Amino acid sequence: MSGIVIVSRRDFLKAGIVLGGGLIIGVHLPGGTAAGMEPPRETFAPNAFIRIGTDDSVTVIVNKSEMGQGVYTALPMIVAEELEVDPATIRVEAAPVAPAYNHAEWGIQVTGGSSSVRSEWDRLAKAGASARMMLVAAAAEAWKVKPGQCRAEKGFVLHQASGRRLSYGKLAERAARLKPPAEVQLKSPKDYSVIGRPVRRLDTPAKVNGTALFGLDVAIPGMLTAVVARPPVFGAKAMKIHHDKAEKVPGVKRVVPIDAGVAVIAESFPAAVRGREALEIEWNEGPLAGLDSGRQREEYAEMAKRPGAVAARRGDPDTALKQAVKRIDAVYELPYLVHAPLEPLNCVARVEPDRCDIWTGTQMQTGDRNAAAKITGLPPEKITLRTLFLGGGFGRRAVPDSHFVREAVQASKAMGKPVKVVWTRDDDIHGGWYRPTFYNELAAGLDAAGMPAAWKHRIVCQSIAIGTPFEKGMVKNGVDDTSVEGAADSPYAVPNFLCDYHMAPAGVPVLWWRSVGHSATAFVKESFIDELAHLAEKDPYQYRRQLLKKHPRLVGALDLAVEKAGWGKALPEGRGRGIAVHESFGSIVAQVAEVSVGTKGEIRVHRVVCAVDCGRFVNPGIIEAQMESGIAFGLSAALHGAITFKNGRVEQSNYHDYPIIRMNEMPRVETHIVRSGEKPGGIGEPGVPPVAPAVANALFALTGARLRTLPMTQERVLAATGKA
Amino acid sequence: MIALTVNGTRHQVDVPPDTPLLWVIREVIGLTGTKFGCGMSLCGACTVHVEGRAIRSCVTPVSAVAGKEITTIEGIPESHPVKQAWIADDVPQCGWCQPGQIMAATALLATNPKPDDAAIDEAMEGILCRCGTYQRIRRAIHRAVGTPTKGGAS
């Protein structure tokens, strides 16, 4: 076993101080050691986010989980800007669980909704500026001059008149004795030297040399490894467990029933897997034993025949439809999708009589910590949760019931030893918490000028929020906002409009999946508007533009994408071009995709030109990376992704039958950022929604075949293009 | 006891002979840079070199590599052009697949010092990246060997 691995070394909370009008709990520094590293002596901790050591080290404590989206770089950059330090010199530390680290708006510690930069910008800027002012004041005090005669630059305070300078480390002890300023002065954006530049990611070197520590890499003394025999059908219960054979497998210690199923706890992962193979369980499969995707689709279609709960309505869509010059009806369908992050879910827990330690990569620390408190009976402050790097999140590690943490805590409690629970890839693909499957019925009518007079969109899908702590805030009048986002608030100028919703029966565990409802609604909205444009015999770009007159930012993104893509210019033989634009998480993304189709019906996406307006931004390099990432993620779903059920069982199990795109399928992505003074928008998710419709629209432009069902598999493409 | 050499260090490991090499590297030897992703040779996160060739350690029994020279991500020098290019192009996002990507790329360049995009695709398509860093991986491989980058799916 390797040595003790602890990323967040600071375990105890101390005093509270007031900063920027809100109460911030300061972090005390009682030693503790990271693997092979002597911690710097940090004496100046002006707030919960910054510590400065006498050795000039600057540590930024980040309250968001790094899952690839770049928060361990973007958030320290905000501090670096105001604190006047080179971001490359910053040490990053994962925040412990404490109220100081709650989401600035949502009241819990969580990473999601593409909200990190948006929610933290002001608070971190103030934290950095406040620390800088205190360092300047400390220097002024030491030199017996006025603070106004001093300035901060690259980790030093300078007194211009005398040419004296002191490093932050030299000033740390003195600054620590000062009170934080009542008011902080933030820099003017025109003076920014860090924000807005493509600063290299701070976590890259560790991720390139193999030292970056993820949850699955944690090893602590005496730790055992568990895999869980999980129900074959969602909701099934283990009635009888025959554990003799499993417990005879060399290395297996014990078989323990837990909420999630039956944990096989062993000395190693291979032994745990062998033990699970030998385990025999009789299940009561419960009400979902007959779940079948084909029948479920019929049920959804039946529900769609009746009016649903109204999400948005204006005008009189039924009358307008009757009076329309042209009418079009369509059904759009999307499957369940699994997040399938490359690092399987895992959690290490060490339950002791008077404390509980947890090591994991999670997006929702507060809920996980509270779940552990409930299981152990310990007060929350006796639970220490350390957040490690997440080998992909995409929403999968923000679970309202904290199941992967509960599994480890229950197993450790039962064994009286530290236990690491590891999910296999089968567990992950079978394990639920999917993006819901969507059934959409649409109808639209065009007026004499070819413009839409009526638009009706009925959505049938499961609610993500129902039955969770988020229900109250997210479900209103029978409508889950995450089911209709991007559809009910369509920006297109249609005078008579209805979006209504049927909440499909619960059962299959569903969850936010990168871009949540937008991952489905953008495909429907942006494909259907394309259908309308073609029905009206108009250019799909110009048609959108005309209907978006009241949305200059959407038009701006469209125009930029079109200009860079060479919209309207000739393409090589056999290629088609499609466009889509969608707003999500406060940002607007337009994409133009160029595709061809192979003889076997395989869609090749050669190029995606992407224009993004995310308002004021921190790091354009990360924006580019997130657009590339969102496009790859969206393409996997557009071309391949589907979770289906037969006899209550998930039919997929690993990357061979739930493929994600590979190197040879990755298009050339060109990202262009709109220069904007608007308020910051999200960046982790908004790249996903437009790509599926842009590709479907390109396929239509190329072949005349309209694919309204995802994924656009070879079979579906061949059937639609008449080559099957 | 099975003898194997990892990054130049000899180890004697006491495990069942069919234990996958991946778990010997991670759990017994304690080198966690080599990652677990699928357990079926489908994702490539577990890629290591055996006698210089890229293999999937999640399906390789430890007995099959007894006495052989194994290299993991920790055994690739920091100065290696591939690691340097990965940093210059800011390739990783979540980072989980990157050790496997780097091991596949270094093995490719050892046999093909100037790969074109087709050769890169062929060598790298076995390594999945859920974050979609493929464009940067391609760019970084070109950077490492000083060839120009053209682009995407052809």
Q: Which helix (H) or strand (E) holds A422?
A: strand A419-422
* Candidates A341, A625, A664; nearest CB to B130: A341
- pLDDT of A35 > 80? The answer is no
Pairwise CA distance, residues B149 & B132, whole Å: 17
The closest alpha carbon to B151, from B119, B117, B126, belongs to B117
pLDDT in tens, A177-230: 999 999 999 999 999 999 999 999 999 999 999 999 999 999 999 999 999 999
Determine the residue type at A372.
A
For A487-549, the DSSP string reads TTT--S--SEEEEEEEEPPP-S-B---TTTTHHHHHHHHHHHHHHHHHHTT--HHHHHHHHTT
Q: How confident is the model at residue A1 (pLDDT cuts 50, 70, 90)?
A: very low
* Candidates A200, A217, A666; nearest CB to B134: A666
Contact by Cβ (8 Å): A439, A295: no
| CB proximity A37 to B under 8 Å | no
| CB proximity A87 to B under 8 Å | no
Pairwise CA distance, residues A546 & A646, whole Å: 46
| CB proximity A221 to B under 8 Å | no
* Candidates A1, A270, A341; nearest CB to B19: A270
Give the model's pLDDT for residue A13: 26
Tell me the average pLDDT of chain A: 93
Longest dimension (CA), chain B: 50
Give the model's pLDDT for residue A42: 73
Contact B37 A268 (CB under 8 A): no
Contact A425 B40 (CB under 8 A): yes
* Candidates B27, B33, B35; nearest CB to A268: B27
| CB proximity A340 to B under 8 Å | yes
| Angstroms from A502 CA to nearest CA on chain B | 32
Give the model's pLDDT for residue B147: 84
pLDDT in tens, A689-703: 999 999 999 999 999
Contact by Cβ (8 Å): A702, A596: yes
In the predicted model, what is the mean pLDDT of residues A166-186?
96
| CB proximity A633 to B under 8 Å | yes
Tell me the average pLDDT of chain B: 96
Contact by Cβ (8 Å): A531, A706: yes
In the predicted model, what is the mean pLDDT of residues A349-359?
98
- Pairing, β A252-258 against β A261-266: antiparallel
Which residues in chain A are contacts of B133 at CB distance < 8 A?
625, 628-629
Contact A342 B35 (CB under 8 A): yes
Which of B42, B82, B93, B141 to probe by mutation at the A interface, max A CB count within 10 Å? B93
Which residues in chain A are contacts of B137 at CB distance < 8 A?
663
| Angstroms from B30 CA to nearest CA on chain A | 5
Contact B37 A344 (CB under 8 A): yes
Give the model's pLDDT for residue A709: 98
* Candidates B26, B43, B73; nearest CB to A655: B43
The closest alpha carbon to A546, from A679, A452, A418, A647, belongs to A452
| Angstroms from B59 CA to nearest CA on chain A | 12
Contact B16 A250 (CB under 8 A): yes
Q: Which chain A residues in 368-427 lie under 8 Å from chain B, judged by CB atoms? A: 389-394, 422, 424-425
* Candidates B98, B99, B132; nearest CB to A629: B132
Give the model's pLDDT for residue A652: 98
User: Chains A, B: CB contacts under 8 A, how many?
Assistant: 200
Contact B92 A207 (CB under 8 A): yes
Contact B151 A668 (CB under 8 A): yes
| CB proximity A314 to B under 8 Å | no
pLDDT in tens, A503-555: 999 999 999 999 999 999 999 999 999 999 999 999 999 999 999 999 999 99
* Candidates A205, A633, A664; nearest CB to B121: A664
Q: How confident is the model at residue A38 (pLDDT cuts 50, 70, 90)?
A: low
Give the model's pLDDT for residue B149: 77
Contact by Cβ (8 Å): A203, A389: yes
| CB proximity A606 to B under 8 Å | yes
Give the model's pLDDT for residue A39: 58
- pLDDT of B151 > 90? The answer is no
Residue of A nearest to B45 (CA): A342
Which residues in chain B are contacts of A342 at CB distance < 8 A?
35, 37, 43, 45, 94, 96-97, 128-130
* Candidates A207, A628, A655; nearest CB to B98: A207
Contact A1 B78 (CB under 8 A): no
- Pairing, β A22-27 against β A13-19: antiparallel
In the predicted model, what is the mean pLDDT of residues A334-356?
98
pLDDT in tens, A465-502: 999 999 999 999 999 999 999 999 999 999 999 999 99
Which of A7, A200, A202, A207 to probe by mutation at the B interface, max B CB count within 10 Å? A207
Give the model's pLDDT for residue A40: 66
Say whether pTM exceeds 0.90. Answer: yes
Give the model's pLDDT for residue B3: 96
Which of A208, A389, A691 to probe by mutation at the B interface, max B CB count within 10 Å? A208
Contact by Cβ (8 Å): A658, A434: no
Contact B125 A663 (CB under 8 A): yes
Contact by Cβ (8 Å): A259, A421: no
Give the model's pLDDT for residue B148: 81
| CB proximity A36 to B under 8 Å | no
Contact B96 A343 (CB under 8 A): yes
Residue A191 CA, chain-centre distance (Å), reads: 31
Which of A515, A658, A666 to probe by mutation at the B interface, max B CB count within 10 Å? A666
As to burial, measured by CB atoms within 10 angstroms (0-12 exposed, 13-18 middle, 19+ buried), residue A222 is exposed
Helix axis angle, A365-376 relative to A403-415, nearest 10°? 30
Q: How confident is the model at residue A572 (pLDDT cuts 50, 70, 90)?
A: very high
- Two structure tokens written together for A333: 């369908």
Pairwise CA distance, residues A342 & B98, whole Å: 11
Give the model's pLDDT for residue A7: 31
Give the model's pLDDT for residue A10: 31
Q: How confident is the model at residue A591 (pLDDT cuts 50, 70, 90)?
A: very high
Q: How confident is the model at residue A722 (pLDDT cuts 50, 70, 90)?
A: confident
| CB proximity A656 to B under 8 Å | yes
Q: Does residue A118 sit in helix, strand or coil?
A: helix
* Candidates B36, B78, B153; nearest CB to A665: B153
Residue of A nearest to B61 (CA): A270
pLDDT in tens, B119-130: 999 999 999 999
User: Which alpha helices (H) appear in A416-508, and where do they start and end?
Assistant: 425-430, 471-474, 481-484
Q: How confident is the model at residue A20 (pLDDT cuts 50, 70, 90)?
A: very low
| Angstroms from A537 CA to nearest CA on chain B | 31
Which residues in chain B are contacts of A430 at CB distance < 8 A?
none
Contact B92 A666 (CB under 8 A): no
The closest alpha carbon to A114, from A683, A612, A689, belongs to A683
Contact A342 B83 (CB under 8 A): no
pLDDT in tens, B9-52: 999 999 999 999 999 999 999 999 999 999 999 999 999 999 99
